[in-house]
Amino acid sequence: MEQHSHGYAEDKQAILRRLKRAEGQVRGIARMVEEDTYCIDILTQVSAATKALETVALQLLDDHLAHCVAEAARSGGTVADEKIREASEAIGRLVRS
């Protein structure tokens, strides 16, 4: 796995902010459980945290297609095929999760 610049380099700060917020949401849910909050109100927060993570995933994927996959496609050959197969599998995991 390469360690240099990635597809999400430009959006890195925005993604980190979103993840910080999602982490806070999950911690907030734990606090609600600690404090015996009503189940339905907790579920609303769980749905919100799940959606926040999905938004991060879609942004990472978008950047990945726009940079890594597009670059591999320009190089062509088996690397391109491999990158596309890999992206398709990641999309499959997201759709099914």
Packed helices 39-64 and 77-96: angle between N→C axes, nearest 10 degrees = 170
What distance in Å separates the CA atoms of residue 10 and residue 23, rounded to the nearest whole number?
22
Residue 17: its H or E element: helix 12-34
- Residue 78 sits in the site that holds its own copies (CB under 8 A): no
The answer to whether 18 and 52 have CB atoms below 8 angstroms apart is yes
The count of residues interacting with its own copies (CB under 8 A) is: 70
Q: Lay out the site mask for its own copies across 14-53 (x = CB under 8 A, - = otherwise).
A: -xx--xx-xx--xx-xx--xx-xxxxxxxxx-xx-xxx-x
Least distance to its own copies, CB of residue 20, Å: 7
Q: Locate tokens 């978008």: which residue?
A: 62
State the residues that interact with its own copies by CB under 8 A: 1-9, 12, 15-16, 19-20, 22-23, 26-27, 29-30, 33-34, 36-44, 46-47, 49-51, 53-54, 56-58, 60-66, 68-71, 73-74, 76, 80-81, 84-88, 90-97
